[in-house]
């Protein structure tokens, strides 16, 4: 009984929350991105991430820095509907036996529950820096480039509840069929017990990038650099099921987890920028990052029968968590000295990035993103901007699960840049994302052998403030 129930718990602890970008990436680091969304052809300091080759066209030699603070808040909700077991099929007062096993009966109506998950990254810091002298520019940044922050599931998940309900019922069948009056026990159905569970998870990828940009001529520049990525995360939670007092009370299961995870990997980065009159074209390629995360497990409590299910969360175990390669191409055009626009394309090769359990094999394609932005200088001191983004994943039912699901999305961003002085700019931006619901229907819901349906939905809101300064 405990072995079956633990399936849901094990799946619960593999949650991978995400930012805007690919499945394990974050292209959003600077408030200028929030207010415009397309920054792949910029000449400003946030180009240290989005267009490092373009820093060759910074208007002034010297030292440039940018400091950004953002707050991101997400929800991950699941509208679940799944059947449960409620009895044993009978024929003339005797259990129906098929292949030596009694045939359970399913409930007349599905179990319905709306599960709410919250994820928050209240402080997302980013630091950008560049030093330009003549044709050479050295640049870098420090930021959280992936992972997604913290996530909390206060009421468990449907995959866990379904697996637990089925497991408890099936575990009670032997006692129910025992003809010995002293050993006979009733079937344990979902109305006879309470399930309590909670899980907190966190994942961050801290990145430090350094590189050189060279201005080849008046219109062309190139960049080469590398990014060191450090992964830190962990999970802490519990699960227990207890019979109600009316049915005698008593513990049915007790599970606990406290696990920290760390890992690191190196990302080579190449870039090029071409400036043709009022046009500017920026391109960047980030190579795939081979990244494994290692467990430091402080507490893992589970029944001996489930040894094979929790092996990947034992102390010292490594799990693949690659960062996919990424191609960015952007074109900016200056319509007027006070009016500029940009369009951009991102491709994340998620199918070739290793994931836990080889989940990437179930993707139908890599991630495609389409971005655009426009900026208008209202006055010499104030610029207003807005932008949009469309994100298209290669999702499938086999890829989606309760703890790590994605939804195609549409994002809007608005904001402003304020010129504080000849040397200082202030950027402020707000971005929100609308997700398409994803419906997953299964004939074998969470391995229970019963049908069920999940409707996945998400929300995302990000606010950011950045200060750029030139020495």
Is the pLDDT at 10 greater than 70? The verdict is no
- The arithmetic mean of pLDDT across residues 29-55, rounded, is 96
Is the pLDDT at 223 greater than 90? The verdict is yes
- The arithmetic mean of pLDDT across residues 213-236, rounded, is 95
Q: Which two three-digit tokens encode residue 212?
A: 């050189």
Place of tokens 């994931």: 355
Listed residue (373, 398, 391, 386) closest to 431, CA to CA: 386
The rounded Cα 146 to chain-centroid distance in angstroms is 8
- The arithmetic mean of pLDDT across residues 262-284, rounded, is 97
> Which range has the worst mean pLDDT, 8-17, 112-121, 402-411?
8-17
Q: How confident is the model at residue 12 (pLDDT cuts 50, 70, 90)?
A: very low
Q: How confident is the model at residue 150 (pLDDT cuts 50, 70, 90)?
A: confident
DSSP state of 59: S
Is the pLDDT at 18 greater than 70? The verdict is no
Give the integer Cα–Cα distance in Å for 369 and 346.
Answer: 5
Mean pLDDT of the chain: 89
Is the pLDDT at 283 greater than 90? The verdict is yes
Nearby residues of 9 by Cβ (< 8 Å), 6 or more positions away: 160, 197, 239, 255, 257
pLDDT recorded at residue 4: 35
pLDDT recorded at residue 235: 83
Is the pLDDT at 274 greater than 70? The verdict is yes
Give the integer Cα–Cα distance in Å for 320 and 331.
Answer: 35
> Which range has the worst mean pLDDT, 37-51, 258-272, 312-326, 334-348?
312-326
Q: Which two three-digit tokens encode residue 100?
A: 């030596």
Contact of 171 with 142, CB cutoff 8 Å: no
Q: How confident is the model at residue 282 (pLDDT cuts 50, 70, 90)?
A: very high
- The arithmetic mean of pLDDT across residues 104-110, rounded, is 93
- The arithmetic mean of pLDDT across residues 111-115, rounded, is 92
Is the pLDDT at 344 greater than 80? The verdict is yes
Q: Which two three-digit tokens encode residue 24?
A: 């394990």
pLDDT recorded at residue 148: 63
- The arithmetic mean of pLDDT across residues 176-205, rounded, is 87
Is the pLDDT at 58 greater than 70? The verdict is yes
Q: How confident is the model at residue 14 (pLDDT cuts 50, 70, 90)?
A: very low
- The arithmetic mean of pLDDT across residues 41-68, rounded, is 96
Nearby residues of 293 by Cβ (< 8 Å), 6 or more positions away: 231, 233, 261, 262, 263, 318, 319, 321
pLDDT recorded at residue 317: 87
Phi, psi of 182 (to 5 degrees): -75, -25
Query: Domain 2-470 belongs to what topology?
Result: Porin (2.40.160)
- The arithmetic mean of pLDDT across residues 265-275, rounded, is 97
**For the segment 89-98, what is each residue's pLDDT rounded down to a tens digit?**
989 888 898 8
pLDDT recorded at residue 438: 97
**For the segment 298-320, what is each residue's pLDDT rounded down to a tens digit?**
998 876 655 655 667 788 888 88
Is the pLDDT at 201 greater than 90? The verdict is no
pLDDT recorded at residue 159: 84
Cα angle 434-439-441, degrees, rounded to a multiple of 5: 170
In the chain, the percentage of residues whose pLDDT exceeds 90 is 64
Considering only residues 170 and 470, tell me which one the structure prediction assigns the higher pLDDT: 470
Q: Which two three-digit tokens encode residue 93?
A: 């007062």
Q: How confident is the model at residue 13 (pLDDT cuts 50, 70, 90)?
A: very low
Give the integer Cα–Cα distance in Å for 198 and 236.
Answer: 8
Is the pLDDT at 376 greater than 80? The verdict is yes
In the three-class reduction of DSSP (H, G, I as helix; E, B as strand; rest coil), residue 52 is classed as: helix
Give the integer Cα–Cα distance in Å for 354 and 383.
Answer: 42
Listed residue (461, 343, 345) closest to 413, CA to CA: 461
Is the pLDDT at 348 greater than 50? The verdict is yes
> Which range has the worst mean pLDDT, 106-110, 185-189, 253-257, 448-452?
253-257
């Amino acid at each position: 009984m405990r072995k079956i129930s633990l399936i849901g718990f094990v799946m619960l602890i593999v949650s991978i929350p995400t930012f805007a970008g690919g499945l394990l990436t974050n292209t959003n680091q600077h408030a200028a991105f929030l207010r415009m969304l397309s920054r792949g052809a910029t000449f400003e300091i946030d180009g240290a991430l989005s267009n490092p080759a373009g820093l060759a066209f910074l208007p002034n030699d010297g030292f440039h820095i940018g400091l950004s603070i953002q707050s991101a808040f997400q929800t991950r909700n699941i509208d679940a509907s799944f059947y449960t077991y409620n009895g044993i099929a009978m024929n003339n007062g005797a259990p129906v036996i098929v292949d030596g096993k009694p045939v359970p009966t399913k409930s007349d109506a599905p179990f319905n529950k709306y599960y709410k998950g919250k994820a928050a990254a209240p402080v997302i810091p980013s630091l950008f820096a560049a030093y330009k002298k003549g044709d050479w520019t050295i640049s870098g940044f420090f930021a959280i480039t992936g992972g997604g922050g913290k996530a909390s599931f206060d009421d468990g998940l449907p995959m866990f509840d379904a697996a637990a309900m089925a497991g408890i019922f099936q575990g009670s069948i032997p006692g129910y069929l025992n003809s010995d009056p002293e050993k006979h026990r009733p079937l344990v159905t979902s109305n006879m017990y309470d399930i309590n569970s909670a899980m907190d998870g966190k994942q961050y990828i801290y990145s430090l990038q350094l590189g050189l940009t060279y201005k080849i001529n008046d219109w062309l520049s190139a960049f080469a650099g590398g990014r060191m990525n450090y992964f830190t995360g962990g999970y802490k939670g519990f699960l227990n099921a207890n019979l109600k007092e009316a049915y005698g009370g008593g513990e049915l299961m007790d599970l606990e987890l406290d696990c920290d995870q760390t890992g690191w990997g190196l990302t080579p980065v190449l870039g090029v920028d071409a400036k043709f009159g009022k046009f500017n074209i920026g391109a960047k390629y980030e190579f795939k990052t081979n990244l494994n995360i290692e467990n430091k497990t402080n507490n893992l409590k589970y029944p001996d029968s489930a040894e094979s299910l929790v092996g990947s969360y034992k102390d010292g175990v490594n799990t693949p968590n690659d960062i996919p390669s990424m191609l960015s191409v952007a074109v900016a055009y200056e319509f007027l000295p006070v009016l500029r626009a940009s369009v951009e394309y991102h491709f994340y090769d998620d199918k070739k990035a290793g994931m836990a359990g080889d989940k990437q094999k179930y993707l139908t394609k890599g991630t495609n993103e389409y971005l655009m932005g426009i900026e208008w200088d209202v006055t010499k001191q104030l610029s207003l901007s807005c932008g949009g983004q469309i994100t298209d994943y290669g999702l499938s039912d086999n890829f989606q699960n309760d703890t790590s699901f994605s939804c195609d999305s549409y994002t809007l961003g608005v904001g402003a840049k304020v010129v504080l002085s000849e040397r200082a700019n202030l950027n402020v931006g707000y971005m929100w994302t609308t997700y398409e619901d994803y419906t997953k229907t299964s004939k074998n819901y969470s391995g229970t052998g019963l049908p069920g349906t999940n409707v996945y939905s998400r929300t995302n809101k990000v606010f950011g403030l950045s200060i750029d300064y030139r020495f």
